Structures are given as C-alpha cells and as structure tokens.
C-alpha cells in the first residue's frame, strides 16, 4: 500500500517536470518556425521568473499556511544584489556561465537572509502578521533601493543616499547603483533555456521538500500548530525553514529578471505590492498547495492579456474577481457542502450509467 502511494506522488511529480519540459520544447519549436511574435518572445524570460515566484509563494501559502505580500520585495533583493555583483565582475569573471551561477547564489542567499531576518520576529506570532510585515518589507526595500547610490573607483566602493555626485568618485570611477535610475548595463545572461532549467530546479527543491520529513513537519504545523507542538515538532524552526527557502527562491526569480533587462529599476509595477498580488492570483487560481496549478495559472494569466489586448484595461479587475470568486468557491463551508453534494450525485449517476452499460 505504501509503495503504491510513494509511486503515486512520484508519478505526479514526474508529470509536473514533464509538463515543463514539453512546454519548453513546444515553445522552442514555435520560435524556431517563426510562429512567436517578438513581443511574446520578450515575455518568455519574465514568465520563467513569474513561475518560480508563483511556486515559491505557493510554498509559503499552500504548504506553510502563511501569507506573504512581500514576495516582490524578496525578488527585488535578489535582483539588485545579483545585478550589482554581475556588473562589478563583468570584467573580472569573463566566463558568463560561472558569473551567472555565482549571481544566482548571491541573489538567493541575500533574499533568504532577508527572509530569515523577517521570519524570526514575525513567525513566532499567531495571526496575520506575516502578511502585513512582508508587505511593509517590500515597501521598505523599494524605498531603500531608490535612494541608494553606489559607485566604485580605484579607492574602492563609495556609498551615498543623496545623489551620484556626492559619491565623490575620482575620474574614471563608475556609478554602479544610481538611485531611482537603478542599475544600467547588467549583462543580459538570462535566457529562456536557463529560465526553464531554474524552474525545474525550483520544482525539484520544493516538491522534494514537501515529500520529506521536514515537509511533513511544516504541513503538520499548518494543519494544527498545537498538535504539532505536542508531538515534539519545533514550530519556529520549520516555519523559518519554509519561509526562508521560499524567500530565496523568490530571490532566484529576481536574478533571472534582472539579467534580462538593460536597466534595472525598482518601481511599484515590477517590485511593488501589485506584483506580489499578481503572484498571489497565480497561486490562488492554480490551487493553493498545487505547484503544477501555479505554473499553469502563471502561464495563462501572463500570456492571455498579451493575446487579448482589448482586455488589458480590465486585467487588474479580472484579477480581483478571480481572487474573490476562487476563494469563495473553494473555501466557503457552504460552497464546499454544495460541491460535495453535486459531485456525489454526479458520481452516483456515473456509476449507474456504467452499471447499465455493463
């Protein structure tokens, strides 16, 4: 019995990996045969970042059972730290693969550390504090990035929170982070292929975590904190683990995003609250706790508005309605009861008809 179940989850995971690979191949073929507009091609790398964000947020929402409204903030941290690193080392580390790999590690680590710093005070509290604190964190990060100026000359790094002139750089010194103008000239190392590989890596980490001893502990806390404590589960440790892994994966998404742009700036639309909400819509539409669903929802909701341009004015409105309707339909006790009745009726009918057929 248990062996059968093991293979069931393994099978389900395999389907998810396979789905990603098949979609990748189909897109590559379509691009190769010239069936994808350049506009859509430009969306492919950001889409990979969104998918990773959605899966990582689903780890927090679906598995840990907490809400983060600052995933765009963690993405922002990953984006800026990694872009800073890549821009600084673009002349010294010439192997772009190695540089990108290091950038990934740095982006993930920086975002993960932010996750731990936020998680330590907040995750020990009961209630909806994580939502509001992560929201606050996202805004703080955006604020900080917009007043940060960093330059480098032969004397080393210079910092300022005023403007680029007050960095006091020598001749030949370079401004790396330029306040609201952000970082210009990050090497464009992200490709669709790398994005898809990183989606697979993300899935590997998240799915394997869920189906392990630590994952069970995390889900036990989600289902019943008091009972989990009573069987000796360390609540803070596992909550913090899930949340920091989720944050560092959001950082990875930021790395992909940053290395696809000529100029990286922190604006409300890419690293603000709206972005966090968009990712939440992916997670809710795809099914809370369902990683494959998050991927599909991210793909549909990213591509659909581009394909149906006339809808773009209503895009946000549609997101709002999707959120409300999905939550009411999936979680309201009455709706659950109604669906239960309906589906059992349906099943009974089905059984009857198969019996009749036999």
Partner 1 sequence: MALLEVNNLGISFGGLRAVNEFHLKIEKGRLYGLIGPNGAGKTTVFNLLTGVYKPNEGVILLDGNNIVGRKTIDINKEGIARTFQNIRLFKDLTVLENVKVGLHNHYKYSTLEGIFRLPKYFKVEKAMDEKAMELLAVFDLDKEADTLAANLPYGKQRKLEITRALATEPKLLLLDEPAAGMNPNETKELMETIRFVRDEFHMTILLIEHDMKLVSGICEELTVLNFGEVLSEGNTSDVLNDPEVIKAYLGE
Partner 2 sequence: MSFISYLVNGISLGSVYAIIALGYTMVYGIAKMLNFAHGDVIMAGAYVVMVAISGAGLPPLAAVLVAVVFCTILGVVIESVAYRPLLNAASSLAVLITAIGVSYLLQNIALLIFGANTKSFSSVVPVPALVLAGGRLTIAGETIVTIFSCIVIMIGLSLFIKKSKAGQAMLAVSEDKGAAQLMGINVNGTIALTFAIGSALAAIAGVLLCSAYPSLNPYTGAMPGIKAFVAAVFGGIGSIPGALIGGILLGIIEIFGKAYISSQMADAIVFGVLIIVLIVKPTGILGKNIQEKV
Nearest approach in angstroms of CB 100 to partner 2 is 31
77 interface partner picked from partner 1, partner 2, none, CB below 5 to 8 A per type: none
For partner 1, which residue of 38, 127, 154, 213 counts as binding (CB under 8 A)? 213
The closest alpha carbon to 239, from 115, 69, 123, 113, belongs to 123
The whole-angstrom separation of Cα 21 and Cα 46 is 17
Torsion of CA 324, 52, 145, 280, to 10 degrees: 10
Which of 280, 285, 297, 299 is close enough to bind partner 2 by CB under 8 A? Answer: 280
Closest separation between CB of residue 14 and partner 1, Å?
13
Confirm if 24 and 168 have CB atoms less than 8 A apart: no
Burial of 116 (0-12, 13-18, 19+ CB in 10 A): middle
How far apart are CB 44 and partner 2 at their closest, in Å? 27
51 binds partner 1 (CB under 8 A): no
Candidate list 40, 233, 323, 326; residue touching partner 1; CB under 8 A: 233
Q: How far is CA 34 from the centre of its chain?
A: 30
Which is closer to partner 2, CB of 131 or CB of 200? Answer: 131
Among 231, 262, 307, 357, binds partner 1 (CB under 8 A): 231
Structure tokens at 231: 């069987």
1 binds, among partner 1, partner 2, none (CB under 5 to 8 A by kind): partner 1
Instruction: Name which of 219 and 266 has its Cβ closer to partner 1.
Output: 219
Residue ranges in 125-154 that form contacts with partner 2 under rule CB under 8 A: 125-126, 128-129, 131-133, 135-137, 139-140, 143-144, 146-147
Distance linking the first and last C-alpha atoms of the chain: 29
- 183 — phi, psi (to 5°)? -110, 125
> Which token pair is 175?
């401004």
The C-alpha atoms of residue 138 and residue 142 are separated, in whole angstroms, by 6
Beta 156-160 vs 174-178: how paired, if at all? Answer: unpaired
Q: Which does 217 bind (CB under 5 to 8 A by kind): partner 1, partner 2, none?
A: partner 1
Nearer to partner 1, 191 or 214 (CB): 214
Paired tokens of 307: 């394909």
230 CB-contact burial (10 Å; exposed 0-12 / middle 13-18 / buried 19+): exposed
Q: Name the site residues for partner 2 (rule: CB under 8 A).
A: 61, 65-67, 69, 118, 121-122, 125-126, 128-129, 131-133, 135-137, 139-140, 143-144, 146-147, 161, 226, 273, 277, 280, 284, 288, 313-314, 316-317, 319-324, 327-328, 330-335
Q: Name the site residues for partner 1 (rule: CB under 8 A).
A: 1-2, 4-5, 204-205, 208-209, 212-217, 219-220, 222-224, 226-235, 241
């Amino acid at each position: 019995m248990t062996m059968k179940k093991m293979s069931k989850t393994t099978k389900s995971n395999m389907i998810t990996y396979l789905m990603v690979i098949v979609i990748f191949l189909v897109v590559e073929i379509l691009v190769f045969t010239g069936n994808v507009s350049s506009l859509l091609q430009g969306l492919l790398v950001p889409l990979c970042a969104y998918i990773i964000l959605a899966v990582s947020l689903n780890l927090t929402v679906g598995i840990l059972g907490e809400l983060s409204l600052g995933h765009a903030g963690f993405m922002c941290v990953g984006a800026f730290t990694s872009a800073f690193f890549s821009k600084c080392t673009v002349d010294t580390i010439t192997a772009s693969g190695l540089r990108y790999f290091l950038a990934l590690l740095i982006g993930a680590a920086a975002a993960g550390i932010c996750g731990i710093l936020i998680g330590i005070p907040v995750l020990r509290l009961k209630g909806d504090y994580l939502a509001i604190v992560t929201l606050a964190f996202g805004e703080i990060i955006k604020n900080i990035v917009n007043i940060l100026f960093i330059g480098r000359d032969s004397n080393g790094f210079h910092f300022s929170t005023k403007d680029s002139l007050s960095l006091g750089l020598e001749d030949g010194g370079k401004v790396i982070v330029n306040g609201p103008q952000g970082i210009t000239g990050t090497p464009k190392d992200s490709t669709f292929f790398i994005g898809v590989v990183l989606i697979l890596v993300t899935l590997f980490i998240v799915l394997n975590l869920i189906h392990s001893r630590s994952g069970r502990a995390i889900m036990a806390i989600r289902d019943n904190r008091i009972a989990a404590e009573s069987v000796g589960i360390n609540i803070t440790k596992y909550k913090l683990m899930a949340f920091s892994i989720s944050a560092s994966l959001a950082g990875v998404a930021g790395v992909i995003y940053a290395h696809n742009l000529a100029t990286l700036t922190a604006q409300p639309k890419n690293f603000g609250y709206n972005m966090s909400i968009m990712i939440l819509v992916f997670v809710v539409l795809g099914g809370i706790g369902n990683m494959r669903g998050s991927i599909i929802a991210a793909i549909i909701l990213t591509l659909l508005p581009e394909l149906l341009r006339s809808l773009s004015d209503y895009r946000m409105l549609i997101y709002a309605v999707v959120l409300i309707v999905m939550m009411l339909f999936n979680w309201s006790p009455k709706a659950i009861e109604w669906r239960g009745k309906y589906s059992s009726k349906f099943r009974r009918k089905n059984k009857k008809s198969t019996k009749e057929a036999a």
